[in-house]
Structure 1
Amino acid sequence: MESPGWLEAILAGIIAILVIFWFRGGIKATMEQSRNAPKDWKGAIIPLAGVVLFVILLIMMVR
């Protein structure tokens, strides 16, 4: 597979910029809601710790 030409790279960049501008309002509203949301780190850390422990368990079982 050959690398994209310069025109394709420019078009991909333009499309990426347009998508960012298109979603800008939604991103702004989401950031504002996240600032005003209560901070519940326990609700996020407990499942993440469970996943990490499960992955460690799987790695130990393979060895």
Structure 2
Amino acid sequence: METFSTWESLLLGAVVLLVIFWMGPGIKASLEQSRNAKPDWPGVLVPIGLVVLFVIFLIAMV
């Protein structure tokens, strides 16, 4: 695979910086919103528990 030339690397770096600065306020706001949200552990643990039970069931059927 061919490496980037100097101007391509500079252009790629400028695009990455532009995207970071463009999306920065939205990322900051979403992080603040996630800090203020109440934890929802049952919403995570119930599906994981169901998957574990299903796998145990499949193993027991063999």
TM-score bin (small chain) = 0.5 to 0.7
Computed over aligned residues only, the root mean square deviation of the Cα atoms, in angstroms, reads: 2.3
**If the length of structure 2 is used for normalisation, what is the TM-score?**
0.66
Match of 1:43 in 2: 43
Q: Distance in 2 between matches of 1:40 and 1:7?
A: 47
Matched-pair identity in %: 46
AA at the equivalent of 2:16: A
Match of 1:9 in 2: 9
Higher Cα radius of gyration: 2
Q: CA deviation at 1:7?
A: 1.1
Q: Distance in 1 between matches of 2:7 and 2:29?
A: 34
Q: Matched residue of 1:2: which SS?
A: coil
Change (3 A) 1:48 1:4: farther
Match of 1:23 in 2: 23
Structure 1 gaps, min length 5: 57-63
**If the length of structure 1 is used for normalisation, what is the TM-score?**
0.66
